[in-house]
Amino acid sequence: MNPGETLLSTSRTFQLWRYGAGHSQLILRSGFRPQADPVELLFEGVRSVRFENLHFPELTVWRDEDEVIETEKYRMYNLRIELRSPKHTGVITAGRMTYIDGTYTDGTIKWWVTSPRGEEIGGGARPTCE
């Protein structure tokens, strides 16, 4: 589906800032020095998270091949994002990732990546009720 690509490579250090399982959102933030404006990476529709550490110095954000979840009727896609730093790599599976200059509530969205839309599979039309 997606062969993989580098989405961001920076000398900044990012850390886990907020994770809300109920809202399926995760925020990584950078900008802890007085001279650095904050930058956030917002992940929405988070399905899984795996970190060995909550700090990511010299972060490279890599979009790996999209993950596919398939049932008898539907095929759904999710982004598989690797957070690579010199000492460890974390993985987030989510529907969308957004790069924000500033903070989530008052920053400027610079770019985003969204997983492909899901699709109905199998045969036949949906049943109707009369």
In this predicted structure, the answer to whether residue 79 has a pLDDT above a threshold of 60 is yes
User: What phi and psi values does residue 59 have, to the nearest 5 degrees?
Assistant: -70, 135
**Euclidean distance between CA atoms 10 and 29, whole angstroms:** 13
Residue-level pLDDT at 118: 79
In this predicted structure, the answer to whether residue 129 has a pLDDT above a threshold of 70 is no
In this predicted structure, the answer to whether residue 14 has a pLDDT above a threshold of 90 is yes
Check residues 35 and 115 and name the one with the higher pLDDT: 115
Bridge-partner residues for 89, per DSSP?
Answer: 84
Question: Is residue 57 within 8 Å of residue 86, measured between CB atoms?
Answer: yes
Question: Is residue 95 within 8 Å of residue 36, measured between CB atoms?
Answer: no
Q: How far is CA 18 from CA 31, 42, 106, 114, 116, in A?
A: 15, 9, 16, 20, 25
